[in-house]
Amino acid sequence: MKKYHLHLISDSTGGTLNSVVKACLAQFDSVQVEQHFWPLVRTQKQLLTAIEGIRKNPGLILYTLVDEGLAKALAKHCETMNLQGISILHPVIALMSNFFGQVSLAEPGLQHQLNEEYFARMDAVDYALHHDDGLKNDRDLANADVILVGVSRTSKTPTCVYLANRGVKAANVPYVPGIPFPEKILDLKKPMFVGLTAAPERLIDIRRNRLAQLGEIRETDYLDAERVQEEVKQARRFYSKQDWPVIDVTRVGHLQDALKMLIDRGFSGCNLTAPLKEAALSMMQVHDESCLMSGAVNTVVVREGRLHGYNSDGFGFIESLKAQHPKWDGSRVVILGTGGASRGIIASLRGAGAKHFSLVNRTPEKAQKIVKAFSLDADIYKWEQRNDALRNATLVVNCSTLGMVGHPPLSIDLAKLPQTAAVCDIVYRPLMTDLLNQAKRRGHPVIEGLGMLLHQGRLGFALWYGRDPEVSPELYKYMGELAA
């Protein structure tokens, strides 16, 4: 099939141009197109850079340049190269100018102007990310507009992010029964304190789903009905004593209504996390193979009023693996833990050529289901046999939450692991887990979990906006500092 080159030239972010092109291309489903995007073209020098790119891959040129001089220069270049080009905005602007009896401002990106409100919002988002779950010290919390307090799984973090996107500096501090609440935080004068609560049954459901996602199947006090009920009661008494307003989040977040709202309000889509990923699968009208294989949806895309479901776990993992260790060997892959993202990761590894798998899990029956589902050439090991599973391995992947901040450590001895084997951990907090540090000391290539997260975001961005962003070293460094 012939491939056509399409060059999109914008003097701003290109969102307007991309939306128009996306809508038009939907009418040509049998045409193979490679898009070349040239954003923020505002000078003759920047225009010449785009022209050089067009010369290497001649094709159709669509542009949104409100500056008359640049638009005329581009039109002249199109004529010289004998290529077709069209301005998306000029006909509409000319018509409006004639209708309104006014000359346009000819200023690019006015709809994306970085005003004071924008920077306040970005500052608030950064603040929320750095002050999640009691992070940072009391002095930093003094700058918050709002501090949310609640027991585990009362929607503290998503509420903070929601507020941040509206310019409110929000932090959250967990209420842990039996541990005194920091007096220094209670003495703060500026922030407004709000207590979050939920029905014990709702909290248990959310916690159980979260643990299942992470591959943790043991019943613990975290799920004990009487203990959770007492947690909620203690927290309510504490809020009352402090005379704080209380919000009950039990009925917040009805998934089906929220997904319908994406369509009604014109959103491109959203990301989902536990405990919503499995529930969302049945609500999608179109399923990508990735979510059918993994049994969960973490990326929702709205197209023509329909919900399309994707799972980016496998894509994010394999792209991160290729970026951090291009010469990876999939001859014998050891998977530690078969919960959470493991199904997507196993599917992506198999699709990329991995041959033999050794699945290590506390419940061999669960591992056996995965072997059967993917028709794997595989061995199954009990968790206490994990050190033996490392013999002859070429790649080891930790798919459990062991070693993550706030979780038990991953106790494993790499002595039996061949020296040439690579070690990967999908955990990204901390960036270098105990597993990776042990592997690094032994001289193994290591693959950090942050790369998977960033490449997952890359897929979502491409699905929503039609543009594949780069996971640059600068982005990796910045996100690494946030995760630290």
pLDDT digits (tens, 9 = 90+) for 418-436: 999 999 999 998 999 999 9
Quote the number of domains for the chain: 3
> Where is pLDDT greater, at 312 or 207?
312
Report, as residue numbers or ranges, the catalytic residues.
277, 313
By the 10 Å C-beta count (0-12 exposed, 13-18 middle, 19+ buried), 153 is classed as: buried
Q: Hey, which residues does 447 pair with through a beta bridge?
A: 424
Q: How far apart are the first and last CA of the chain?
A: 47
Residue 21, judged by CB atoms within 10 A of its CB (0-12, 13-18, 19+), counts as buried
**Rounded CA gap, 7 and 37, in Å?**
6
Q: In the prediction, which pLDDT does 111 show?
A: 47
Note the helical H segments in 282-433. Answer: 289-294, 313-324, 342-351, 364-374, 386-389
pLDDT in tens, 115-124: 556 567 778 8
Location of structure tokens 């972010």: 13
386 and 332 both lie in a single domain: yes
Average pLDDT over residues 144-164: 87
pLDDT for 14 beyond 80: no
* CATH code (residue 83): 3.40.50.2300
363's enclosing H/E stretch is none
Q: How many Cβ atoms sit within 10 Å of the Cβ of residue 417?
A: 24
Walk across the sheet containing 306-310 and list its strands: 269-271, 299-303, 306-310, 286-287
C-alpha pair distances (Å), 270 with each of 238, 250, 309, 375: 35, 22, 10, 32
Q: Which domain holds residue 169?
A: 116-248
Residues 438, 356, single domain; the answer is yes
The mean pLDDT value of the chain amounts to 86
**What local confidence, expressed as pLDDT, does residue 119 receive?**
64
Who wins on pLDDT, 101 or 253? 101
Do 120 and 237 lie in a common domain?
yes
Judgement on whether residues 76 and 206 belong to the same structural domain of the protein: no
pLDDT at 242 over 70: yes
Within 11-128, strands assigned E span 32-38, 60-64, 85-87
Does 10 lie in the same domain as 97? Answer: yes
Residue scoring higher pLDDT (33 or 380) = 380
Mean pLDDT of 188-200: 93
Whole-model pTM over 0.85: no
Can you tell me the distance from the alpha carbon of 59 to that of 193, in angstroms, rounded to the nearest whole number?
A: 58
CB 399 within 8 Å of CB 338 = yes
Mean pLDDT of 56-65: 92
355 and 431 assigned to the same domain: yes
The answer for residues whose C-beta is within 8 angstroms of residue 408's C-beta and 6 or more apart is 402
Same structural domain, 322 and 448: yes
Q: 121 and 106, same structural domain?
A: no
Whether 54 maps to a domain, the answer reads yes
Q: Which amino acid is at 214?
A: L
- Could you tell me which residue, 39 or 30, shows the higher pLDDT? 30
440 domain residue, yes or no: yes
Q: What are the structure tokens assigned to 369, written together?
A: 């289901």
Tell me if 279 is assigned to some domain. Answer: no
Beta bridge partners, 397, equal 335, 424
**How does residue 132 score in pLDDT terms, banded at 50, 70 and 90?**
confident
Among candidate residues 111, 143, 175, the one where a domain is terminated: 111
Q: Are residues 126 and 104 in the same domain?
A: no
Same domain, 68 and 120: no
Distance, CA of 224 to CA of 150 (rounded, Å): 18
Nearest partner of 250 among 140, 154, 126, judged by Cα = 154
- When pLDDT is averaged across residues 324-336 and rounded to a whole number, the result is 95
213-228 per-position pLDDT tens digit: 566 666 778 889 999 9
Alpha carbon distances (Å) from 483 to 128, 213, 446, 451, 477? 13, 21, 18, 12, 10
Domain boundary among 65, 92, 111: 111
Residue 305 lies in a domain: no
Q: In this structure, is residue 395 part of a structural domain?
A: yes
**Cα distance between residue 117 and residue 95, in whole Å:** 32
Residues 17 and 72 in one domain: yes
Domain boundary among 216, 233, 248: 248
- Got the DSSP string for 8-45? EEESS-SHHHHHHHHHHHTT-TT-EEEEEEE----SHH
Amino acid at the residue 96 = M
Element (H, E) at 173: strand 170-174
Residue 473 covered by a domain: no
**Residue 300: inside a domain, yes or no?**
no
Whether residues 130 and 225 fall in one domain? yes
Task: Examine residue 407 and state whether it is found in any structural domain, yes or no.
Answer: yes
Q: Which two tokens stand for residue 484?
A: 């630290």
- Residue 422's CATH number: 3.40.50.720
